[in-house]
Structure 1
Amino acid sequence: MNITPELCHAARILAHIDRSALSQESGLAEDQIAAFEEGTGDLGEAMREKIGTTLEALGVIFLPEDKEGGAGLRLKFTEGETRRILNWEGEGGRVNQDDVV
C-alpha cells in the first residue's frame, strides 16, 4: 500500500479522526503525522504501512491506482450499515471483543 500525504489526510478526514487520535491509534508521533501530511517530512515505508493499517482498521479502504483512474479511498461500510452498527453498539449488554472493523 502506497500511502501518500494526500491520501493520509483524506483518509483521516473520511474516518472522522484528528491527528491526535491517529497518533494514539498508530503509535506514531503527532508531529510526524503532521509533517508527513504537509509534505515536509517522510515517514518511511514501515511507518506509512502502520498508518495505512490503522486507517483500514478504522473503516477506510485504500483503492489502488489503475488504468481507470488514480488512487482513492472509500468507506468499508455503507451509510445503512454504519447506522446499524451504531445502533447495535448502543443497545448495551455485556462488553465483548469487537471484530467488526
Structure 2
Amino acid sequence: MPITPEQCHAGRVLAKIDREELATEIGVHVDVIEAYEAGLASDGEIAQLAQRSLESLGVEFLPEESGFGVGVRLKVDRAGARQIGSWEAEGGRVAEDDVP
C-alpha cells in the first residue's frame, strides 16, 4: 500500500531531507513532490518511489491498525541507515563473517 502525502512529508522531516533532495533521489522534478504532498496529485508510482527512498534513510511507515491510523517513525538515523546498507551490499553467504 503506497504511503499517503502526509506520511511522505513526515518521512522527509524525520530523514532531514528537503523536497529537492527527495526529487533528485527518485528522478522527478521538485514540483511533482510538492504537488503530491499537497494532495494535488495522486500518483501511486511517486508514492512508491518516495517510500523506498525514505525507507533507505531509516524511515519506517506504519500501516493503519485497530483504528489508530497510519504513522511514521525513524527506525535508525541517516548514518545508521547508510551503514546498514553498506553491510548488506558486502555480498557473500550468510555466516561467512569472522564473528565468534
TM over 0.5: yes
Write the distance in 1 (CA, Å) between the matches of 2:50 and 2:87.
Answer: 19
CA shift at 1:99, angstroms? 4.2
Cα distance, 1:36–1:98 mapped onto 2, change above 3 Å: same
Q: What residue number does 2:16 align with?
A: 16
Structure 2 counterparts to residues 1-101 of structure 1, below 5 A: 1-43=1-43, 45-77=44-76, 82=77, 85=80, 98-99=86-87
The code of the aligned residue for 1:35 comes to A
Provide the aligned C-alpha RMSD in A. 2.1
Q: Which runs of 5+ in 2 are unaligned?
A: 89-100
Change (3 A) 1:37 1:70: same
TM normalised by structure 2 equals: 0.73
Paired letter, 1:56: E
**Which secondary structure state, in structure 2, belongs to the residue aligned with residue 28 of structure 1?**
coil
- C-alpha distance in 1 between matches for 2:45 and 2:37: 16
Q: Percent identity?
A: 43
* Corresponding residue SS for 1:52: helix
Q: How many residue pairs get matched?
A: 84
Q: TM-score, normalised by structure 1?
A: 0.72
Unmatched 5+ stretches in structure 1: 90-96
- How far apart, CA to CA, are the structure 1 residues paired with 2:13 and 2:47? 17
Runs of 4+ in 1 over 6 A off after TM superposition: none
Question: Which amino acid is the alignment partner of residue 26 of structure 2?
Answer: S
Distance apart, 1:32 and its partner CA: 0.4
